[in-house]
Amino acid sequence: MIRYARRNPLHILKLIVIDLFYLLKHLILKNECINNLPCSLEGKKILLCNPAHLGDVIISTSIVDFLKKNHHIHIDFLCGTWASPILEHHPGIDNLFFLDLPMLCRSKYSNNKTLTYFKNITLNKLRSNNYDLIVVLYSYEPSYIPYLIPLLNRVPLVAYASAGYNSFIADPFNISSDKLHESEIQISLFKRWFKNLPNKQLLKCWLPKHHARLSQPRQLNNYCVIHTTSSSSKKDWPLKHWEFLINHIVSLNINVVLTGHGERDQKNSLFLSNKCNVINLTNSLCFDDFSNLIEHSNFFISVDTVTPHIAAAYDVKGIVIFNTPKTIHRWAPLSNKIICLSPSESNYHDSLVSNWCVSPHEVIKNLDILRIHVMTH
């Protein structure tokens, strides 16, 4: 049975209708997609696809590393333009292509330029590349699959059944467990070809190294990075908790640098700048400078967003504050140097507990553990 990666009944109904439509179309027109999967990936040419946001794509770099280091595979990658700073210098990626899906674009200035370019130019380039396999690493809808349909009469597709368009998938995958990490979910798409797939402890994300730290502002020395918001307000931590925590860190003679991007981040940072002694770099860093800042920090503290995944790629220690225990197993950063905190299961499910989020005192307790590790390494 297909488990669609959606909770909204209307979204699930949409995916069912899509699957039924294309199934009937295939049965009537007899133009089914190709199903002859290669017996081995050694020396093959594959197209990896992930339209997702930055954190998800950083996790995908661990899959690229596994495929490239252990096997002679030519790897091209299709992603959103926002992922370009992550992948454009990756030594394991031979060619990079872009397509922004409107539903995943977070910019207010979103346009259809990449879609037009994809249809007119990129699709022809992909056709001429003669891939042996296409693999879609994203298990949700919206999907790249409908845009790749012109290629699927020649190239087999491996993807998740949960994103729909199952009539086009040569080997549709159902996610086998709710307790798998995102990296393990993505790499499971290759279990047909590799008997011993690495678990999350053996996978490592990749980002380009920065040999010199940011030169401005000059106070950037002995500092930690604090990132207070994510794309979803449901992941946010109360401002009063951040204020309490930041004042504690400042009392330890550690500089606090606030980061973020967008209106909510700016609002939080202005509030905290008025209450605490901080360096506010919100909305002033490109992705490369942001990752540089994290790479050279003493440690970071953040909600569940891209920041922990950047830190994991650079082996930077830190604390991630989750607002639900349900998502840690899937979205925890790939690092044993990062502490993940969340409300207890009992409090989270107790409707009588109104203030069920992680307390600042719990973060401070783990911060003491973290500072010991920072000082001894």
Answer yes or no: do 250 and 143 share one domain.
Answer: no
Answer yes or no: do 13 and 158 share one domain.
Answer: yes
Answer yes or no: do 173 and 137 share one domain.
Answer: yes
Give pLDDT, residue 28.
62
Residue ending a domain, among 172, 202, 232, is 202
Answer yes or no: do 182 and 39 share one domain.
Answer: yes
> In this structure, is residue 352 part of a structural domain?
yes
Task: Give the chain's domain count.
Answer: 2
> In this structure, is residue 131 part of a structural domain?
yes
**Greater model confidence, 216 or 228:** 228
pLDDT digits (tens, 9 = 90+) for 325-356: 888 999 999 999 999 999 875 444 443 334 56
Contacts 24+ apart (CB under 8 A), 313-320: 313/58, 313/61, 313/204, 313/205, 313/206, 313/207, 314/207, 314/209, 317/370, 317/373, 317/374, 318/225, 318/370, 319/363, 319/366, 319/367, 319/370
Task: Output the average pLDDT for the chain.
Answer: 87
Give pLDDT, residue 194.
92
> In this structure, is residue 70 part of a structural domain?
yes
Give pLDDT, residue 14.
74
Q: Across-strand partners of 95?
A: 76
> In this structure, is residue 1 part of a structural domain?
no
Q: Dihedral of CA 104/107/113/117: which sign?
A: negative
Q: Is the pLDDT of residue 376 over 90?
A: no
CATH number of the domain that 152 lies in? Answer: 3.40.50.2000
Q: Is the pLDDT of residue 316 over 60?
A: yes
pLDDT digits (tens, 9 = 90+) for 262-284: 899 999 999 999 999 999 999 99
Confidence band for 18, pLDDT divided at 50, 70 and 90: confident
Q: Is the pLDDT of residue 111 over 60?
A: no
Strand arrangement of the beta sheet that strand 299-303 belongs to = 279-280, 255-259, 223-227, 299-303, 318-321, 338-341
> In this structure, is residue 215 part of a structural domain?
no
**Greater model confidence, 310 or 199:** 310
> In this structure, is residue 212 part of a structural domain?
no
pLDDT digits (tens, 9 = 90+) for 52-101: 999 999 999 999 999 988 778 999 999 999 999 999 999 999 999 999 99
Give pLDDT, residue 353.
39
Question: Nearest-CA neighbor of 139 among 52, 233, 34, 22?
Answer: 52
Answer yes or no: do 91 and 238 share one domain.
Answer: no
Give pLDDT, residue 107.
62
Answer yes or no: do 162 and 269 share one domain.
Answer: no
Phi, psi of 214 (to 5 degrees): -60, 140
Confidence band for 30, pLDDT divided at 50, 70 and 90: low
Q: Residue 159 belongs to what domain range? A: 9-202
Q: Is the pLDDT of residue 181 over 50?
A: yes
Answer yes or no: do 147 and 80 share one domain.
Answer: yes
Task: Average the pLDDT over each of 60-64, 175-179, 291-295 and give the range with the smallest value.
Answer: 175-179
Answer yes or no: do 97 and 242 share one domain.
Answer: no
User: To the nearest whole percent, how much of the chain has pLDDT over 70?
Assistant: 86
Q: Across-strand partners of 258?
A: 226, 280
What average pLDDT does the segment 363-376 reach? 73
Rounded CA separation 144/13 (Å): 19
What average pLDDT does the segment 143-149 reach? 92
Question: Nearest-CA neighbor of 165 among 2, 3, 18?
Answer: 18
241 alpha carbon, distance to own chain's centre: 26
> In this structure, is residue 208 part of a structural domain?
no
User: To the nearest whole percent, how much of the chain has pLDDT over 90?
Assistant: 63
> In this structure, is residue 2 part of a structural domain?
no
- Residue 344 vs residues 136, 207, 224, 244, 284: alpha-carbon distances, Å: 34, 33, 26, 21, 36
Answer yes or no: do 159 and 229 share one domain.
Answer: no
Pairing of strands 255-259, 157-160: unpaired
Give pLDDT, residue 347.
47
Rounded CA separation 192/93 (Å): 22
Question: Nearest-CA neighbor of 331 among 299, 367, 307?
Answer: 307
With residues binned 3-state (H G I as helix, E B as strand, rest as coil), the percentages for the chain, rounded to 5, are 40, 15, 45
Give pLDDT, residue 129.
96
Answer yes or no: do 189 and 240 share one domain.
Answer: no
Residue ending a domain, among 202, 233, 249, is 202
Q: Is the pLDDT of residue 217 over 70?
A: no
3-state secondary structure of 257: strand
Answer yes or no: do 188 and 55 share one domain.
Answer: yes
Residue ending a domain, among 150, 168, 202, is 202
Answer yes or no: do 41 and 133 share one domain.
Answer: yes
Give pLDDT, residue 162.
84
